[in-house]
Amino acid sequence: MRMSWIFVIIMAAAQSADPLSSSCSERPHMLEQPWIRVNFACLEEVINDPSFGALAFTALTVGEDGTLYATRPDAGEIVAFSDTDGDQLPDTPQTLVSGLTFPNSLAFADGALYVAGGERLDRWQDGELTTLIDDLPTGGTFGVGGIAVHDGRIYVGIGASCQFCNSPDPERGAVWSYALDGSDRQIVMRDLLQPSDLTFVEDRLFVIDAARGLLIAQDGQETAFAPESQPMGLAYYGHDPLTLIQDRLLVVLSGNSHPVHIVGYQVMSVDPLNGVVESMMPTQPEPGSPESDFTDEEMSIRGSGFFPQRPLDVSVSPEGWVYISITDGRIIALRPQ
């Protein structure tokens, strides 16, 4: 009998030591804003340090071991976040790579980190940076935006040379594909303006065209967002822990620049099969409750959304946690309750 009680005590202590076994309110970095649906997830702070600058952490990706990576375009750096307080949540950025030219796209695959920015596409692996491509087009209205690795190839979004012109470059406004060593360039999608992020759902390629406010599948399916909402970041949630967004695409709407009305400043979920869009955050905690019965714009004005900061990118970890980068040095996380 005594041994069984000791076993129970040991198991209880082990469970209490696991941060994910705690309720949201008991977690040390718990947040109450932006609003999310009750019983959806725990909203937690990864970092909030305005001293890093407005574009401190932009593009995000997560490694196979759960390490969170972020680009710092103005500084020309990639940072890796480590967990220093044992709560299984990354919290401290450390510079991994420096000397890059405005890095703004990240992808992780098979132990390697791929980064695009300016004219370059680089791979960071085993402590070594290798330039795979050094002649990506940068001139004109739109540059490089979005990178994905799928089935042994790299996919890069190439912006159009202009938005309104009589003879646009037919190789711009497209998604280019390369072998993993940077050879064998192919064009796999055309007729885009500003591809800002890419992802795959099984073998279907999805692209955000920020200038047109569209999510476009390679097979032609289009999902439109509100004018001036500025869709920027894209990720697929193919995991189990957060059932509300299971098998959905997550799209970051960065928001309009000089709003008469506040548009965007949201993260949306999109059904890749039919394009149905739902607001993921901010959203009413309890639909129908008078305490949270506000429009999207009202939630922003009252401080229950991202505004006046802007969400920039979204990424999903192997465990099924969601990370969102925000202007002014912030990253937040959605983890299971």
Distance (Å, whole) CA 209 – CA 229: 12
Residue 85: inside a domain, yes or no?
yes
Cα 177 to Cα 91, 254, 331: the distances in Å are: 34, 27, 30
List the CATH number of the domain containing 222: 2.120.10.30
**Model-level pTM?**
0.93
Residue 8: inside a domain, yes or no?
no
Coil/strand/helix, residue 123:
strand
Is 121:147 a contact under the CB 8 Å cutoff?
A: yes
Residue 285: inside a domain, yes or no?
yes
pLDDT tens, position by position, 35-71: 999 999 999 999 999 999 899 999 999 999 999 999 9
Say if residue 7's pLDDT is above 70: no
* Rounded average pLDDT over 133-137: 94
pLDDT confidence tier of residue 17, bands split at 50, 70 and 90: low
Domain count, the chain: 1
The closest alpha carbon to 326, from 230, 250, 269, 254, belongs to 254
Give residue 87's pLDDT. 85
Residue 4: inside a domain, yes or no?
no
CB atoms within 10 A of CB 7: 10
* Rounded average pLDDT over 62-82: 95
Q: Where are the beta strands (DSSP E) in 202-321?
A: 204-209, 214-217, 222-224, 231-237, 248-253, 266-270, 277-281, 311-316
What is the residue-averaged pLDDT of the chain? Answer: 91
Distance (Å, whole) CA 66 – CA 75: 24
Print the domain residue range for 221: 23-335
Percent of the chain with pLDDT over 90: 79
pLDDT confidence tier of residue 167, bands split at 50, 70 and 90: low
pLDDT tens, position by position, 244-286: 999 999 999 999 987 678 999 999 999 999 999 999 999 999 9
Residue 179: inside a domain, yes or no?
yes
Give residue 134's pLDDT. 95
Residue 82: inside a domain, yes or no?
yes
Residue 223: inside a domain, yes or no?
yes
Q: What is the 3-state secondary structure (H, E, C) of 241-266?
A: CCHHHCCEEEEEECCCCCCCCCCCCE
* Unique residue bearing structure tokens 């885009």: 192
Residue 84: inside a domain, yes or no?
yes
* Unique residue bearing structure tokens 């909203």: 43
Give residue 249's pLDDT. 98
